[in-house]
Structure 1
Amino acid sequence: MAVESEKRWKSFAKLDTAELGWFHLRSVIVAGTGFFTDAYDIFVISQALPMIYTVYYPEYNVTFTSSYPGGKHLDAWMKASTSWGNLVGQIGFGILADKLGRKKMYGVELIIMIVCTIGSCLAAPIYSLNILVILSVWRFFLGVGIGGDYPMSAIITSEFANVQSRGFLMASVFAMQGAGILLGGIVYYATLEGMTTLIQADYRSIDIVWRLGLGIGIIPAIIALYFRLTIPETPRYTVDVIGDTNKGTSDIDMVLQLNKVKEISTTWNQDEVAVANTTTKNNSWSGFKEYFCKWQNTKTLIGTAYCWFALDVAWYSLQLNQSTLLKTIGYTPDFNAGAWAYFRQSAIGNLIIAVGGSIPGYIVCILLIERLGRKKIQIIGFVMVAILLAVLAGLWNTIQGQREGFLVLYILVQFFIQFGPNTTTFVIPGEVFPTRFRSTAFGISAAAGKAGAIIGIQLVGPSNDSNPALPLWIFAGVMLSGALATFLLPETKDKTLEELSNEGEVIIGA
């Protein structure tokens, strides 16, 4: 057993100290392409819904001064339906990835997304069911696939990464969310520009724009599918859960052939390294309860889950109601100016916010996450967003009429969300749990986030019409609570996954 333990330790140590190389890049591209698609599919609905209302509900006043079709709560459900699916997919795929393996599940979620994207962009009324009902069903199941992609992409990237660059690699995968959001704005703007004559002649031609907007998401999903179906099982799962040290070691050697390996100067010493045996570890429900009955482990799960919950209460409501917010501050023209002018200006506003705030936030986080650490970045982000939202709420009556001033503050909100908790709440849960429960615990944490998104969109968001400052005050308070909950979490920078797992394993020399 000592020989097997030594072999296991040396293999993991090589993986942890490997220099960045092609395999790491390939993993980020494969995982990131899917995550790019996830973000595109989730947030593209924000600009699509006003178009759908305009075409299928002519009585709808797109100035948002009258009721939404079916009421504002139906509008909220349309925006939250994907989050409901996310919640189911994150827990379901999280558990299955720990039970069946990462490789067996990786790609299944993309197949679900491809089918449901086709269904979404072809949605139409059927008998007594209106288009909103049909579309919400497709988007719920689309959300299941998207939800499954969260734990899969995070865990595979984490388990293949080296220690020094793990946060950098995981943040790079997550940053593809920003690229997906940006592409959504570009697609809408480009389509509107290309169809100017048609839309100005008949505003109902806008029906083609939102369908193209939703349908474009299928392209990156198809591109990523082959690579996901052919990616190898992670060595850590092969060794720790399957119990096959030889196969895990050969998989690590395959990875290292594509990357340069640093010399490991520290010799293995069984007195210095407490390594669990290489038989299959217990990843059953009883093992889960036993592990999380310890307060230190429970505390970590509470921290990852609540921080993600706190973030998504505000983030999803703000992002999915961004077009409405732009109208509220007078950024977009009155609909009497024409559908083309209205939606074009809305697309430009969304692009300005993405380019000015969101994209720089992701980039700065990627550059600083290994230098500052996850906890510090998360606390800074939560606190700054809380302050900025409180300022917007407190000055609402004054600043809502000052488009430039409002946009500057709102762009800063988006910057600190992406620089801070939106990225770190994805990274930390992929690092702090043991291999046998890593995907399940990540899925629980992510699902808690989607529960927060649902609350923010369906309960808090609808009050935006009557009292826009109220949701901002609520979001500011929730963000501050997220900063406090971050103190429940360990700092993961420069630590191995085995060290962070709290299972008595301290891999030295990594």
Structure 2
Amino acid sequence: MDLSAPLTPGGNAAFHNFHNDFAHIIHPNQRRRLALAEIDKVPFGWYHVRAVAVAGAGFFADSYDFISINLAIQLIGIAFWQDDGGTIPPHLQSAIRSATSGGAFIGMIAFGWLADVLGRKRIYGIELIILIFATLGQSLSSPSPVVTMSGLLIFGRVIMGLGLGGDYPMSAVITAEFAPTRWRGRMMAAVFSLQGFGQLAAALVALVTTVAFRKSFSAAKSFPECTGACQIAADRSWRIIIGFGMLPAIFALYYRLTIPETPRFTFDVALDAEKANADIRIFIDAEIALEQIDAFQRDSTNRLGLESQIQSQVRGVDNLIQPRGSWADFFKYFKNYRNGSVLFATMSSWFLLDFAFYGLALNNSVELEVLGFASGSDVFRVLLATSLGNLILVCAGGLPGYLLSALFMDTLGRRFIQIGGFASLTVIFLIIGFGYSSFDKVSLIALYILAQLFFNFGPNATTFLYPAELFPTRYRSTCHGLSAACGKLGAVIIQVFSEPLLMKGVKPGCQGSACSPFLGHMMQIFAACMFCGTRQTLEVLSGEMALGTNRSSDTRGSRERFMARLSWASHPRGRRVGEQHEKGIMSINDSRGREARSKANTQDSSASDSSTGRILRRSSQPRSDYERRGKMEDADISLQDMDYMGHLFSQ
């Protein structure tokens, strides 16, 4: 009988199938160690760049949409709302802008849960298909006697939000589970930084489109006068701007559909029969088990009987070490105060962040008007100023913040970046809030740019990373989806309430801060959210310390000792481990393990010499006996402790 693991499908230039490289290794825990060590050993190169680009395509589309819709709404108003002066009514603008966040809220929870139930591979790519068709549908929409344009746009953006929302937990978890330990923070931050490039692309596409239709737009002095050729140009422009957002998703779709299952999900959740073999490692000594199997290899009948007997006994204790994911186990796990407090902290900190972040992003057109980037003598100059304003703010504040996060995430650490970001934003919003009426445009622009910088070189990046690093494999995607969904809930709430508040007291022909008298008070509210976010950050950090001390107070040292044990397994990427490596399995156990075996042999001396009897008797021993022997650290090396938490402690 072949004891090697079955091969798993998938694998491409962006995501290598590490599981299949070691499928011939008989021992499942050893197979897991070798595969994860191989991931950590691969030097940074184009493989990682491609993985970041493929995983970040959804974030590119996400931020592209949120920036482009601000200009597109102006153009849609010109094309379809000429009876209202070429402007969409405020309540419809609010509904159109918040529809994507509403759909994303559902998509984050649904896709996060499905990825833990069905696996990452079976789900990854579906969210891009939804995104592509929803974007295409929006760009081709036109009203009819029975369906209004606002209804079509809201419906299309809710569907698009499902795809965008599903991309958050999927890309975060897949990147985390494929990334080397030493590059994980930077790779995940780099994936998230593609939001900055999406914002840049949106500003550039809007700028190019505006310039391309300059002649038509210049013929009208104001939006109500933009009719005929000007109105046709506006209709074409918004369709181009919205439709361009699906191109990155199309390019990334092949790589996502052909991705292999992540090694950590394969080993930790979807093992089935292999999990039974893995449980043997907990209840019996690995060396003795392998010796017995090797001995019976010379007698196929006896070997088959022994294996069948072991399998049947171990299935009774299957999943003792890592329970199979279920709603009952989910509530049991998070009923624990330490685990539940960490989930609450990641959810609430993301809610507080997005309440302020999207409060600014979704009302971008109002802020540009206050900053003086939305005025001109004709329609062309108004649209040009809006496009240039977006471009300047993205290049000066947003994009540098994303890049700084990607560069320093693994050197400064999540703790410093998140606490520093929340604290800096608290100060900035307090300054803007209480000095709003006394600042000139240059000062407001500088403060706004600083706010964008510390959003992205701060909690906007770290709230994305933390949920992918703090939870066990079987619930990692679900918890990331729940945390991200709370952020989108904050975005919906602020959008619903901010639109009427920002328009309160606005007079026609206003300039500067008079275009939004309540903006200063909204900044004060944001400052309170940022201060509360700082407190939630401390809860996250206390939660990770609690989780990290479950088994070892020196996680980093444990990880180094673990890697030292695997030094004999060094080999080029993709090459099967040879006979010499399989022989090396016997040398992994340290002196503590040999001491434990000696005690076990003494305890078993009164029993039968039969190999089968010894194995079955040991499998019934309590788990605590083997914990006292120190076998748990060797057999059940926790991904959360070794790969994730140890990495965080080093910051």
Same fold flag (TM > 0.5): yes
Deviation at 1:280, TM superposition (A): 7.5
Distance 1:318 1:500 in 2: 38
Distance 1:215 1:306 in 2: 34
Contact 1:76/1:461 (CA < 8 Å) preserved in 2? Answer: yes
Aligned to 2:401: 361
Q: CA deviation digits over 1:386-423, x for unaligned, max 9?
A: 21111111111122xx2222111100100000100111
> Which residues in structure 2 correspond to 1:431-470 (within 5 Å)?
431-466=469-504, 467-470=518-521
In structure 2, which of residues 254, 262, 268 is the aligned counterpart of residue 226 of structure 1?
254
Residue 468 to residue 426, structure 1, CA distance change in 2 (3 Å): same
Distance 1:339 1:282 in 2: 60
Q: CA deviation digits over 1:409-465, x for unaligned, max 9?
A: 100100000100111111111111111000000000000000011111112343112
In structure 2, which of residues 266, 279, 292 is the aligned counterpart of residue 238 of structure 1?
266
Distance 1:33 1:431 in 2: 21
> Which residues in structure 2 correspond to 1:99-498 (within 5 Å)?
99-201=117-219, 202-204=229-231, 205-243=233-271, 281-334=323-376, 337-399=377-439, 402-466=440-504, 467-490=518-541
Q: CA deviation digits over 1:271-310, x for unaligned, max 9?
A: xxxxx97987411111111211111111111111111101
Contact 1:107/1:225 (CA < 8 Å) preserved in 2? Answer: yes
SS of residue paired to 1:216: helix
SS of residue paired to 2:495: helix
Q: CA deviation digits over 1:82-107, x for unaligned, max 9?
A: 00000000000000000111011011
Q: CA deviation digits over 1:67-86, x for unaligned, max 9?
A: x644x232211110000000
Distance 1:364 1:506 in 2: 22
Contact 1:13/1:507 (CA < 8 Å) preserved in 2? Answer: no
Residue 505 to residue 452, structure 1, CA distance change in 2 (3 Å): closer
Amino acid at match of 1:454: V
Distance 2:450 2:95 in 1: 28
Aligned to 1:501: 640
Distance 1:317 1:382 in 2: 16
Deviation at 1:366, TM superposition (A): 1.1
Distance 2:140 2:153 in 1: 9
SS of residue paired to 1:370: coil
Amino acid at match of 2:441: R
Distance 1:286 1:69 in 2: 48
SS of residue paired to 1:330: coil
Distance 1:418 1:383 in 2: 13
Q: How many pairs align?
A: 474
Deviation at 1:11, TM superposition (A): 3.2
Structure with max Cα Rg:
2
Residue 139 to residue 246, structure 1, CA distance change in 2 (3 Å): same
Deviation at 1:489, TM superposition (A): 1.3
Distance 2:183 2:320 in 1: 26
Distance 1:278 1:54 in 2: 63
Contact 1:9/1:507 (CA < 8 Å) preserved in 2? Answer: no
Deviation at 1:200, TM superposition (A): 2.3
Deviation at 1:472, TM superposition (A): 1.0
**Identity across the alignment (%):** 38
Q: Does 1:38 align with 2:62?
A: yes
* Unpaired stretches in structure 1, ≥5 consecutive residues: 63-67, 248-267, 270-275
Distance 2:383 2:646 in 1: 56
Report the aligned-residue RMSD.
Answer: 2.9
TM-score normalised over the length of structure 1: 0.87
Deviation at 1:9, TM superposition (A): 3.2
Deviation at 1:117, TM superposition (A): 0.4
Amino acid at match of 1:339: V
Distance 1:429 1:442 in 2: 5
SS of residue paired to 1:129: coil
Residue 506 to residue 310, structure 1, CA distance change in 2 (3 Å): closer
Amino acid at match of 1:284: S
Distance 1:235 1:385 in 2: 38
Distance 1:443 1:209 in 2: 34
Deviation at 1:139, TM superposition (A): 0.4
Distance 1:176 1:440 in 2: 23
Deviation at 1:503, TM superposition (A): 11
Contact 2:91/2:499 (CA < 8 Å) preserved in 1? Answer: no
TM-score normalised over the length of structure 2: 0.68
Amino acid at match of 2:240: L
Distance 2:646 2:273 in 1: 16
Amino acid at match of 2:526: F
Distance 1:277 1:236 in 2: 16
Deviation at 1:315, TM superposition (A): 0.7
Amino acid at match of 1:162: P
Residue 407 to residue 180, structure 1, CA distance change in 2 (3 Å): same
Residue 299 to residue 504, structure 1, CA distance change in 2 (3 Å): farther
Structure 1, 6-15 or 128-137: larger mean CA deviation: 6-15
Residue 506 to residue 331, structure 1, CA distance change in 2 (3 Å): closer
Contact 2:405/2:457 (CA < 8 Å) preserved in 1? Answer: yes
Contact 2:94/2:495 (CA < 8 Å) preserved in 1? Answer: yes
Structure 1, 324-333 or 446-455: larger mean CA deviation: 324-333
Aligned to 1:77: 95
Aligned to 1:24: 48
Amino acid at match of 1:170: M
Distance 1:295 1:13 in 2: 32
Residue 392 to residue 114, structure 1, CA distance change in 2 (3 Å): same
Deviation at 1:374, TM superposition (A): 0.6
Q: Does 1:5 align with 2:29?
A: yes
Structure 1, 494-503 or 230-239: larger mean CA deviation: 494-503
* Unpaired stretches in structure 2, ≥5 consecutive residues: 4-25, 220-228, 276-285, 288-317, 505-517, 549-554, 560-635
Residue 61 to residue 327, structure 1, CA distance change in 2 (3 Å): farther
Deviation at 1:349, TM superposition (A): 0.3
Q: Does 1:48 align with 2:68?
A: no
| Higher RCO (CA-CA < 8 Å; seq separation 6+) | 1
